């Protein structure tokens, strides 16, 4: 509740301030003499900026919808994230495809249906390296049954691709973005490994697009 009322108050200040600026466009001297003026004068600029950003985001959002037909937007990093491992009539997948945590954040993989693993693309798992340099291999082993979980804490910033051992070739592959890494410096975001089947390469390509977009790296 305190946040809500603060937000409302700031919005109201913004609106009042904005109106004041328009009204006082020709006599700004009044504002600098007003003891409460500094707060009011700074707010309209912020609001205007926010509105511009909002409009820009909306355009990007609708572009995204056209391309994919559903909302793939990746959120901001948080301290913990949950990824469901799911078998449906349509096949197997991780949900969400791209999870995001802060550096030091923990991702919990929750088996919802079927039997799955969450296994890092790491040489330690006999895989090409699609994780940051210097990280350790992680592998949940086979999780069966409803509610089985595996968690991993990510101490190194970067993009991590991982797969489900039984379902890799049908595209059960996901990504974790840790922190705010530079998209140009990620092993994971280079061209998908050439020795992988086309279905795997294609899925990794899709994940790379989603990760690049989440990191603001679009051409």
* In the complex, minimum distance from the CB of residue 108 to Cu ion, in angstroms, rounded to a whole number: 16
CB of 166 to Cu ion, least distance (A): 5
For Cu ion, which is the closer residue by CB, 172 or 178?
Answer: 172
Question: Shortest gap between Cβ of 131 and Cu ion (angstroms)?
Answer: 19
Residue with smaller CB distance to Cu ion, 14 or 109: 109
Cα distances (Å, whole numbers) of residue 198 to 61, 169, 205, 212:
29, 9, 10, 21
Q: Which residues bind Cu ion (CB under 5 A)?
A: 92, 116, 164, 167, 172
Which residue pairs from 121-124 have beta carbons closer than 8 angstroms and sit at least 24 positions apart in sequence? 121/160, 121/161, 121/162, 121/163, 121/188
**Residue whose CB is less far from Cu ion, 20 or 130:** 130
Nearer to Cu ion, 31 or 115 (CB): 115
Q: What's the min distance (Å) between Cβ of 162 and Cu ion?
A: 11
């Amino acid at each position: 509740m305190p946040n809500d009322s603060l937000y409302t108050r700031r919005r109201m200040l913004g609106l009042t301030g904005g109106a004041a600026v328009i009204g006082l466009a020709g006599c700004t001297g009044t504002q600098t003499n007003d003891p409460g003026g500094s707060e009011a004068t700074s707010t309209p600029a912020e609001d205007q900026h926010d509105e511009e950003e909002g409009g820009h985001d909306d355009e990007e959002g609708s572009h995204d919808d056209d391309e994919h037909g559903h909302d793939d937007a990746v959120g901001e990093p948080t301290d913990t994230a949950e990824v469901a491992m799911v078998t449906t009539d349509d096949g197997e997948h991780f949900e969400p495809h791209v999870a995001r945590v802060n550096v030091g954040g923990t991702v919990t993989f929750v088996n919802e249906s079927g039997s799955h693993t969450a296994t890092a693309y790491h040489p330690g798992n006999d895989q090409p390296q699609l994780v940051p340099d210097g990280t350790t291999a992680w592998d949940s082993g086979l999780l069966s049954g409803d509610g089985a979980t595996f968690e991993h804490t990510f101490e190194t910033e970067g993009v991590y691709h991982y797969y489900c051992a039984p379902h890799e070739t049908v595209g059960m592959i996901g990504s974790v973005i840790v922190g705010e890494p530079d998209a140009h410096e990620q092993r994971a975001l280079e061209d998908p490994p050439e020795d992988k089947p086309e279905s795997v390469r294609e899925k990794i390509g899709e994940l790379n697009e989603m990760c690049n977009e989440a990191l603001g790296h679009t051409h």
